[in-house]
Structure 1
Amino acid sequence: MSGIAYTLSVDLPHEAATRQLGEDLALALTRGDCLALEGDLGAGKSTLARAMIRALAGNSDMDVPSPTFTLVQLYDLLPPVAHFDLYRLGDSSELDELGFDDALEDGICLVEWPKRAEDRLGKGVIWLSYDFTPDGGRRVTFTGAEAKISRIRRTLSIRQFLTENGMTGAERRFLSGDADYRAYEYISAPDRPRRILMDSPQRPPTPVIRDGKTYPELVHLAQDCRAFIAIDQLLNDMGALVPEIFASDPAQGLLLIEDLGEEGVLDENGEPISERYRAAMEVLAHLHRQNVSREIQIGPHHTHRIPDFDAAAMGFETELLLDWYLPWKLDRQATGPERQHYHAIWADLISRIHDHSSLVLRDVHSPNLLWQPERQGLHRIGLIDFQDAMIGPAAYDLASLVQDARVTIEPDLQQQLLDHYLALRKSQAGFDSDALAQDFAIMAAQRNCKLLGLWVRLMKRDGKPGYMQHMPRTQRYLASVLTHQVMTPLKTWLENLGLSVES
């Protein structure tokens, strides 16, 4: 432990507090973390480890046997968990037989009596040391690298936020993380409906890459959770169904919101349910008929201004294809002339877009649409994940839905959905269906060019290869809109580079 300066202490007055701490730690540790549990017999090490494992498994009644005699118990979870008890370890050679080093690398390790393998734990270990307090309780002190201790401090802050907002002793379970930096939890307390904890701190700093701005600034991504609060308020006022916000702490980036359920717009085989996609299209048509104020007041001291989905942001997003997809496909970087030609094509396409005045939610696709079978009308679809909303072309959200990046929407259903949208808007004064068709082709191509690069970036830079499963679908979607006459220059550019995609 020499040279590690970051510590954090927590008092545990009773066994229930130990179990709660284990549950909180389950939401703070991740693949590659090793928690070394150091303390006397009866200190509570096994109680804490057992609570952690059950929370990671999402099963409060799961059998978690002690590894005292087996030395290790392995759990096939996400991530994998290895629970070691080294009290009976004969010598360090037994660690090799137990797969100790592989476990440290591949998942989360919980190690009781860690001093017996201290030289094998590595510099990234988190030490948890127990002391008895005069009143019979325990005090645990965490010691480790700053980033790891910060994660533990964060999960304890979330627990405090829940306690301060009427959720004392609530059960926390991991729900999801997104492709960005936010995370979500299920929060359950006796005699209360289940709720969602949104963990959305200030956006972490990223490098300045152009015009003194970072990538999130260039493409107008939300900087903190106040954007979610504002757009939630706006959508509710516009008649859409969004989660109610029960408690918020914008300074910490914490929101306690309504749980709109788990039923989405796909069937049990992951196929689109046309009725539900049509209902989502009705929500979009309703929103796109309305004028939207760009400024939303949040409390007495903050006004959220909805950014414009301007030409600079649209063009910059398309560069993901140049920077990530092209090198991945061609094993080389784009040349200067190739980049210039691509930029010119997109500048011209973007200049041809007719509508720039609609509310653009940005990610209207299956993960963010929750079916509400007991509700009527627009409220049959619950909307989530809209904090990055902008003012721009309605066609962008149509493309997000009709060419859902996470699920295959066959051409016939795509056309049915677009026809349904046109029927809902055709009576609106000034609405031009031909203009919308061109806008749709441009914005669908813009979105798919962005996604082609994004999937590669998530794999190469961020270590998230799972998104590559969407690559073939995204290629097909792009190919289908390249058939519109306005897209001929882009189609030719792709073909000339050997980047042609098949529909």
Structure 2
Amino acid sequence: MKPPATAADFLAMHGWGDGQISPVAGDASFRRYFRVQEGDRQAILMDAPPPHEDPKPFIAMAEYLANSGFAAPEIFARDLTQGLVLLEDFGEHRMREHLDQQPEDEESIYRQVIDLLRELHRIPAAPVPAYDWLQYLREVNLLTEWYCPAQQLDVDAEAFVACWKQVLAPVLAAQNNPVTVMRDYHAENIMLLADGRLGLLDFQDALVGHPAYDLVSMLQDARRDVSDELEEKMLAYYLADRNEEAAQEFRSHYAILGAQRNTKIIGIFTRLCVRDGKQRYLEFLPRMWRLLEKDLQHPALEPVAQWYARNIPAEVRSRSIPLPEKTE
């Protein structure tokens, strides 16, 4: 985790030449992050190296969110050619660790993150691409492209796509008035700021789509256990102002998008292990299968549930993925 060779000149050019650089935790992408400390001020240096990463979507979304009244990091400086961005440091008080240490705050903080989504869904959507058929199907296909080969499964990939087209149709039809979807809205991307607001991170892949997506991302968290009781309470809280018919339709779409997202994540976490050697992501797979199986119980997902039963039976889902052999 050494900073890029161009970091010193970039920081000096923008008034941070005497800053001390130290690494901070990254994510599952090629992006890297460093804390820059200079006297009593600090900032975060994002290294988003081209061609693997493009920081422009992050910058655009940060500006959209900030202009809409949400707490997104202020952009202090940028060098798009080098892929360097200097941005506001939200500190280290993250929702995930706070709740690990103070679980009594769980319901109040989850209400706050749901309130933020409700506000986001009331304003005009960001000027970003749509969450369309192609994107939804590209994502679920990560399971047949990565998980199934890793488990040496010969599956009916064509039927898999046909099932998803069938169950996703009502979700796409409901996106005629789309909202901003941040796509990675979960406890490890929410900072608890000193002023009581929620600091938002990791929104560079935002699209416009269905309001259930970020809700299910938060309540069916890939990295943190959320009890069924809390999930139901927060889902009911989000739907409190809808009539019974609208609420039931939303719950159906919520289950569909939960299954879509959890399917995608199983594929992504397998890819991170097999292709990138990041074996720690395998520890999340039992949680992902539990969440997916819960979603598949919804009647709206019967075609997909039947495909899973035929192609990936329960005894396979609990089987460890063989790790790639290490090369010298």
Letter in 1 for 2:119: H
Deviations along 1:114-161, whole A, 9 cap, x unmatched? xxxxxxxxxxxxxxxxxxxxxxxxxxxxxxxxxxxxxxxxx2211111
Within a 5 Å distance, the mapping from 1:118-267 to structure 2 comes to 155-192=4-41, 194-204=42-52, 224-266=54-96, 267=99
Q: How many residues are paired up?
A: 309
Closer, same or farther: CA 255–270 of 1 in aligned 2, 3 Å: farther
Partner AA of 1:412 in structure 2: E
CA distance in 1, matches of 2:59, 2:93: 23
User: Residue deviations 1:416-470, cap 9 Å, x none?
Assistant: 11111112x539xxx9322211111111100000111111111111100001111
Deviation at 1:203, TM superposition (A): 3.4
Matches of 1:203 and 1:362 in 2, distance apart?
A: 22
CA RMSD of aligned residues (A): 2.0
Q: Match of 1:227, as an amino acid?
A: P
Aligned residue number for residue 273 of structure 1: 106
AA of the residue aligned to 2:86: L
The structural deviation recorded for 1:269 is 5.2
Select the structure that is richer in helix: 2
For residues 256 and 180 of structure 2, the distance between their equivalents in structure 1, rounded to whole angstroms, comes to 17
8 Å CA contact 1:171–1:188 kept in 2: the answer is yes
Are 1:345 and 2:163 an aligned pair? yes
For 1:27, the equivalent position in structure 2 comes to 2
1:315 aligns with 2:290: no
Amino acid at match of 2:2: L
* Higher alpha-carbon Rg: 1
Distance 1:498 1:235 in 2: 40
- Cα offsets for 1:322-342 (capped at 9, x unmatched): 12222334x2332xxx11111
Q: Which residue is 1:389 aligned to? A: 206
Distance 1:247 1:484 in 2: 47
Query: Is the partner of 1:355 in helix, strand or coil?
Result: helix
Segments of structure 2 that go 5 or more residues without pairing to the other structure are 319-328
Q: Secondary structure at the match of 2:250?
A: helix
Correspondence 1:463 to 2:312: no
SS of residue matched to 2:123: coil
Per-residue deviation, 1:308? 0.9
Bigger Cα displacement from structure 2, 310-319 vs 247-256: 247-256
Q: Given the superposition, is the C-alpha separation of residues 203 and 436 from structure 1 closer, same or farther in structure 2, using an over 3 Å criterion? A: farther
Once the two structures are aligned, what percentage of the paired residues are identical? 33
Mapped contact 2:190–2:200 kept (Cα < 8 A): yes
Offset of residue 346 of structure 1: 0.5
Q: Could you say which structure has the greater relative contact order, defined with CA pairs below 8 angstroms and 6 or more residues apart?
A: 2
**Counterparts of 1:320 and 1:269, CA distance in 2:** 35
Stretch of structure 1 that moved more, 382-391 or 261-270? 261-270
* Residue 249 to residue 349, structure 1, CA distance change in 2 (3 Å): same
* Separation in structure 2 between the aligned mates of residue 289 and residue 202 of structure 1, nearest angstrom: 35
Query: What CA deviation, in whole Å up to 9, does each residue of 1:17-68 have, x standing for no partner?
Result: xxxxxxxxx615xxxxxxxxxxxxxxxxxxxxxxxxxxxxxxxxxxxxxxxx
1:371 correspondence with 2:219:
no
TM-score if structure 1 supplies the norm length? 0.59
User: Higher strand share goes to which structure?
Assistant: 1
Amino acid at match of 1:313: Q
Q: Is the 8 A contact 2:61 2:126 kept in 1?
A: no
